[in-house]
């Protein structure tokens, strides 16, 4: 559901006023959804890594035929 700028400001203001409660709610949610959070973080890290990496033909060949000796 898209949020308006007013809703975003109100949420931010509430979070700042109720830092301890917000932190508790947030940490509880993360604990319940640990696997999903881990997968999303890993996928974001991969996207960031590959955006920053200069992709060349040599790099692609090495990645494609990576051999662990």
What pLDDT score was predicted for residue 69? 41
Tens of pLDDT, residue by residue over 7-59, are: 999 999 999 999 999 999 999 998 999 998 898 888 888 777 776 666 677 76
CA distance linking residue 42 with residue 56, whole number of Å: 23
* Torsion-angle region of 2 (φ positive above 0: left; ψ -120 to 50: alpha; else: beta): beta
- Res 62 pLDDT > 60: yes
Give Cα separations from 53 to 17, 35, 60 (angstroms): 41, 27, 11
């Amino acid at each position: 559901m898209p949020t308006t700028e007013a809703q975003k400001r109100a949420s931010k203001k509430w979070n700042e006023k109720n830092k301890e409660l917000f932190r508790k709610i947030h940490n509880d949610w993360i604990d319940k959804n640990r696997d999903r959070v881990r997968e999303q973080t890993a996928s974001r890290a991969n996207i960031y890594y590959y955006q920053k990496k200069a992709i060349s033909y040599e790099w692609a060949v090495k990645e494609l035929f990576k051999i662990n000796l």
